[in-house]
Structure 1
C-alpha cells in the first residue's frame, strides 16, 4: 500500500510539472503601455483611432522570437504632456504622444534621469505653425495682438501655445513682463473664464483655438501660422524599450500609418468617432483631419519638424523652464519609422520630400467647376449628409448655402480658407474682402481683409452682412 501511494505521488508530481510548463502564464509577456492625449486631436492617428479600430494587434510581431508572446496592451489618456513624461521616466509608460514643447521637456528630463527617450514619428503638424491661436471673448474690441496691451491673457505655461504667444507679443513690440499680465490656465479653466469675462484673451493649443469659436465661446484673432515657425505633435518611446523590442515599435508605427490611411479616405466618418470618444465636435475634428486641414498628418521627421523642436528648446531656455540643452539630432530617430514605412509599402524618402496638405480633389458641388486654388476653396457640411460639399470659392459656397437654407435645410458648418495663409477657417467668424466684381476673399485678420479691400477698392464684410444683403436682393428680384 505504501509503495502504491508513493507511485501515485510521483505520478501527480510529474503531471503538475508538465502542466505548469504548458500553462499560458509561462509565455513571455511584453507590455505595450501607451500614453495618449485624446482631446488633443492632432494625436488621433497615433492613439485614439489606433485603439478604437483595434489596429495595434494586427501589426504586433507574432513570428520568430515573438511566436508565443503575450502582449499586455495598456492605453492611458492624459490632458497634457508633462504627466506622460513623468510616467515614462517612472517606467510606467513605454510610448507617449505630445506636442513639440512638452516633447523637448521630455527629452531633457528623461536624459537627466538617465532614462532617455526618442522622438520616433510625427503625427500631425504645420510647417507654418498653424494649430495654436489666440482667442478673445465674443464682445471684445480686440482684433489684433497689439490690441491686447494692458490686458490679462491666460495660457498653459510651458506649452507650445505659450511659446507662440511670446513670439506674437514680441512681433508687435509688446513685453510679456510689462505690457500684459500672463496667467497660467488650462483650456477647461479658460473656457469658463472667457464666458465670465475674467480674462481678456487665451492662447490655446490644439484644438481649442478652433473649438471655442465653433461653440460660440470666443472669437479667434490670431493663429500660429502667422509666425511661420513649425509646430508638431509626435510619438516618443523609451530608448531602452526600443532597444529591447524594436519589432514592437515598428508594429505600432505600422498601425499609425494604417490609421492615417483610413482617416484620409473618410475624414467625416472618423471625425465623428473622435467626437464620440473626446467630446470635441466632429466639425472641429474635420477642420484638422479633412482635406486642406489646419494641420497636416505626416509621420516623417521632416527638417521643419526638427527645426520646430530646436525652436522649442530655445524658447524653453528663454522662459527659464530648463537650464539644460537637448541634442535634437540625437533625440529624433527615424530608424524604426523607416522600417515601418518599408513594411507598409510607403516610400519614406518620397514622403519626406512631400510638403503639401491632403488635397481637395472634389469639383464645385454647385457648378461642377474644378477647384483650382486651395486658398479660394470653401465647404459646407449639411446636416444629415455624410460627406462635406466642396466649392471653388466662398461666393459659390454662399450661393449654395442660401439656396439650402431657402429649402429649410440646416448646416453643421461652413468652412473657408484664409487667402493670405491658406488656413482653414470657420466661415461665420471670417472677415471678407469683397471686390467690385463680387469676388470674396476670406481672412482671419480684419486688418488683412481691410488691406486687401483697400487695394482693390472693395469693402470689408462679415458673413451675416453678406447673407442679409443676398436675402434682400432675392426679395427685390422675386416675381
Structure 2
C-alpha cells in the first residue's frame, strides 16, 4: 500500500507539471514608426517593410527559439507624433531627423525612461537636404531678400534649425527681421501656389519636390549654412536591453535595404514613388549616384555634434529646458554589431565621406567617366535606367537629339559647380563660358560671380540648351 506521504508527493509533482505546462511561445512585438514621404528614411523603413527584409533577419535561435513576432508598421509625416507614441509605449522604433530626435530623448527623460539613437540613415555633413523655396514667379533670388517677409517652416524640425542658423548668419533677429510661422509641408504647398507666404523652409524631399512639380523655386540649400543634417533610427532603451538581437536584426535589414538602393537606384526609386507619391526622379536625386545626400549608417563625428547643436538650439527656442547625456543617448553598439553580422567593416565606412560613387560610361562616347564634378544625367521617359554624361555640354547636345526623335526627358540632373550638390538641371542657372563650357549653379548670385570671373554669360536652362546647340552646330 502506498503511504499517505507518497501519495501527497506524487500529487504535488503532477500539480507542478500542470502549473508549468508546456514551454510558452513568446510573441515579441516589433512596432516601427516610419516617415515614408521623408524619402531619405527609405532604407530604414519603407523598403524594409515593402520587401519584407525584417522577417529575414529576426532571430529564431537561442532564447528566441520558440519566439514569434508581431511586426507593426505605422507611417507618419513628421517625427513628433512618432515620439509621442514611443513614449506611450505604442512604438519600439522610430525614424526621424536630429532635431525631433533630440526632443525624443528629452521626452523619454521627462517620462522617467530613455531612448537610444542607434544609427544614421541618410544625411549630409555639408547640410544638403534642407532648403528654402519661394513661389515660382517670385522675383526673390536669395535668402537676403526675404528680410521682413513671411517664411513658413515645420516647427522643431531639422529645417527649422537650418533656417534659424541661416538667419543668425545674416545677423537678423528671428523675431523682428523676419516673420517665421509654423506650417507643415502639405499646407505649405498650397500656400506657395496661392502666394500666401513669401517662402517656405523644409526638410527632405520638399525643397526639391515643390520645384520639380513646378510651383516653387529653390533659393537656399542647407549646404550654404554648412551645418550637418541627417535622419536616423531610435529605439526604446528598455526594449533594446531586453531584445538586443532584435535591434541588430532591424539594423541588418536596413543595411540590406541600403545595399539594394545602391545597386539599383532607379528600380527602388520607382518603388518609393509608388508608395509615397513622391516622383521617382526626385527619389533618384537623393538615392542615385552622387546623390544630394549620402546614405550612411555610421556615426560620423559631425552627426554626433549636430545632435548636440540641436539640443542647444531647442533650448534657445524654449522647446525644452532639459539637456541630454549624449554619450548615453547616442550609441553605435548595435550598428557595429549589425555591420559585423553582415560581414562589413564599420570603421572603414566610418572613415569614408564619399557619396554613392558613379561607376558608368559616358552615354555619348562609351568611355568610362572618371571625373564627376561636371557630370550631367538624363532620365528619359519609358527608359528604366538613367543615362550619364561627362559634361553638361554633352548632355544638352544629347537632349536635343532625343527631343528631335520624340523621346522626352523625365528628368535632367547636373552638379552644382559651387556647392558640389546634385541639381534638377531644368531648375538651375548656367554659365556659358567663351570656350563653350557650361557649368550649373543653384543660386543666381553664384552664377553671376562665376560669370564675372570667367567672362561668361548667365543663362537659364532653356537658354543654356540653345547655347549648347549653337556651339555644336558651329563645331560642325
TM-score, normalised to structure 2, is: 0.94
Residue number in structure 1 paired with 2:79: 81
Check 1:378–1:472 CA distance in 2 against 1; reply closer, same or farther (3 A cut). closer
Unpaired runs of 5+ residues, structure 1, are 1-13
Residue number in structure 2 paired with 1:5: none
The CA deviation at 1:402 is 0.8
The CA deviation at 1:320 is 1.4
Residue number in structure 2 paired with 1:8: none
Task: Give the match's secondary structure for 1:76.
Answer: strand
Check 1:444–1:476 CA distance in 2 against 1; reply closer, same or farther (3 A cut). closer
Question: What is the distance in 2 between the residues matched to 1:294 and 1:108?
Answer: 30
Unpaired runs of 5+ residues, structure 2, are 1-13
Residue number in structure 1 paired with 2:41: 43
Q: Answer whether contact 1:153 1:203 (CA < 8 A) is retained.
A: yes
Which range moves more in the overlay, 216-225 or 322-331?
322-331
Residue number in structure 2 paired with 1:418: 416
The CA deviation at 1:389 is 0.5
Residue number in structure 1 paired with 2:377: 379
Q: Answer whether contact 1:369 1:392 (CA < 8 A) is retained.
A: no
The CA deviation at 1:472 is 6.4
Q: Answer whether contact 1:102 1:158 (CA < 8 A) is retained.
A: yes
The CA deviation at 1:304 is 1.2
Question: What is the distance in 2 between the residues matched to 1:42 and 1:473?
Answer: 39
Q: Answer whether contact 1:121 1:299 (CA < 8 A) is retained.
A: yes
Residue number in structure 2 paired with 1:358: 356
Q: Answer whether contact 2:436 2:471 (CA < 8 A) is retained.
A: no
The CA deviation at 1:475 is 8.5
Q: Answer whether contact 2:397 2:472 (CA < 8 A) is retained.
A: no
Please list, as runs of the form range in 1=range in 2, the aligned pairs for 1:160-179 lying within 5 A after superposition. Answer: 160-179=158-177
Check 1:450–1:238 CA distance in 2 against 1; reply closer, same or farther (3 A cut). same
The CA deviation at 1:310 is 1.1
The CA deviation at 1:468 is 3.5
The CA deviation at 1:368 is 2.6
Q: Answer whether contact 2:430 2:464 (CA < 8 A) is retained.
A: no
Q: Answer whether contact 1:95 1:238 (CA < 8 A) is retained.
A: yes
The CA deviation at 1:477 is 9.9
Which range moves more in the overlay, 459-468 or 297-306?
459-468
Q: Please tell me whether residue 240 in structure 1 is matched to residue 238 in structure 2.
A: yes
Check 1:59–1:471 CA distance in 2 against 1; reply closer, same or farther (3 A cut). same
Please list, as runs of the form range in 1=range in 2, the aligned pairs for 1:44-83 lying within 5 A after superposition. Answer: 44-83=42-81
Check 1:372–1:474 CA distance in 2 against 1; reply closer, same or farther (3 A cut). closer
Root mean square deviation, CA, Å: 1.8
Q: Answer whether contact 2:160 2:201 (CA < 8 A) is retained.
A: yes
- Deviation track 1:350-389 (CA, whole Å, cap 9, x = no partner) reads 1111110011111211123433332211100011111101
Question: What is the distance in 2 between the residues matched to 1:432 and 1:270?
Answer: 30
Moved over 3 A (4+): 20-23, 468-478
Q: Please tell me whether residue 328 in structure 1 is matched to residue 314 in structure 2.
A: no
Q: Answer whether contact 1:374 1:422 (CA < 8 A) is retained.
A: no
Please list, as runs of the form range in 1=range in 2, the aligned pairs for 1:298-313 lying within 5 A after superposition. Answer: 298-313=296-311
Q: Answer whether contact 1:146 1:174 (CA < 8 A) is retained.
A: no
Question: What is the distance in 2 between the residues matched to 1:443 and 1:469?
Answer: 16
The CA deviation at 1:447 is 0.5
Question: What is the distance in 2 between the residues matched to 1:74 and 1:470?
Answer: 53
Q: Please tell me whether residue 216 in structure 1 is matched to residue 243 in structure 2.
A: no
The CA deviation at 1:175 is 2.1
Question: What is the distance in 2 between the residues matched to 1:425 and 1:81?
Answer: 27
Question: What is the distance in 1 between the residues matched to 2:460 and 2:242?
Answer: 58
Residue number in structure 2 paired with 1:6: none
The CA deviation at 1:176 is 1.5
Check 1:443–1:473 CA distance in 2 against 1; reply closer, same or farther (3 A cut). closer
Q: Answer whether contact 2:397 2:469 (CA < 8 A) is retained.
A: no
Which range moves more in the overlay, 308-317 or 139-148?
308-317
Residue number in structure 1 paired with 2:11: none
Q: Answer whether contact 2:436 2:468 (CA < 8 A) is retained.
A: no
Q: Answer whether contact 2:393 2:468 (CA < 8 A) is retained.
A: no
- Deviation track 1:377-428 (CA, whole Å, cap 9, x = no partner) reads 1100011111101011111111111111111111100000111121110001
Q: Answer whether contact 1:135 1:219 (CA < 8 A) is retained.
A: yes
Aligned length in residues: 460
Out of 261, 264, 272, the residue aligned to residue 262 of structure 2 is 264
The CA deviation at 1:439 is 0.7
Task: Give the match's secondary structure for 2:44.
Answer: coil
- Deviation track 1:53-82 (CA, whole Å, cap 9, x = no partner) reads 000011000011111101010000111101
Which range moves more in the overlay, 289-298 or 308-317?
308-317
Residue number in structure 1 paired with 2:139: 141
Check 1:37–1:67 CA distance in 2 against 1; reply closer, same or farther (3 A cut). same
Question: What is the distance in 1 between the residues matched to 2:376 and 2:241?
Answer: 47
Question: What is the distance in 1 between the residues matched to 2:157 and 2:281?
Answer: 25
Question: What is the distance in 2 between the residues matched to 1:329 and 1:474?
Answer: 58
